Amino acid sequence: MKRLLLLSLMLPVLSITAYGQTCDNSLMAHVYRPERLVKVKGCVTVTGTVVGRRTQDDGDIHYQLKVDPGQGRGWMNQKNVSRQHGTLVFEPICVKRVKQDSAQDACRNFVQDILLPKKGDRVSITGIHVVDNEGGHGWREIHPVSQIKIIP
């Protein structure tokens, strides 16, 4: 009886996770200058292929994702087209050594435990869909990323 009760309590959690629509809001505490990020769609899941990867001085990795067709519109804007080669940026946070002095506090005593894909991997990304207004960037991205899954 106890197992059945436990299972019935877990099913709603499993179904939410299966659709990938849960974001870890506590990650915002480790984002360098979070005020620069403006929510667009909120918590989302998007699939595509990793076509670029670059380590940032703030400890994040800046990935470029070629979004799979058929996922609707609004993932990218003109800045994604002109400055990110038509890709959607996604950034796992605090996964590399922080070299930027002003970003040290955001990652202090924290390393995000997340799967890091390679260029060419087809992935499912769950995180917060935002516009990054840092230094006039203005492109849309998933930042922070809560979950990355490799799609076989």
Q: Minimal CA–CA distance to 66: which of 46, 48, 53?
A: 48
Percent of the chain with pLDDT over 70: 86
Mean pLDDT of the chain: 88
Q: Minimal CA–CA distance to 121: which of 59, 63, 62, 76?
A: 63
The mean per-residue pLDDT over the stretch 135-145 comes to: 94
Radius of gyration (C-alpha) of the chain in whole angstroms: 16
User: What pLDDT digit, counting tens, does each position of 62-112 carry?
Assistant: 999 999 999 989 999 999 999 999 999 999 999 999 999 999 999 999 999
Hey, where are the domains in the chain?
Answer: 23-150
User: Is the predicted pLDDT of residue 47 greater than 70, yes or no?
Assistant: yes
Q: Minimal CA–CA distance to 70: which of 46, 43, 39?
A: 46
Q: Minimal CA–CA distance to 148: which of 50, 32, 28?
A: 50
Which tokens is 152 given?
């076989």
Percent of the chain with pLDDT over 90: 82
DSSP state of 27: G
Say how many CA atoms lie within 13 Å of 71 toward its Cβ: 15
pTM of the model: 0.84
pLDDT given for residue 139 in this prediction? 97
CATH 2.40.50.140 fits 23-150, yes or no: yes
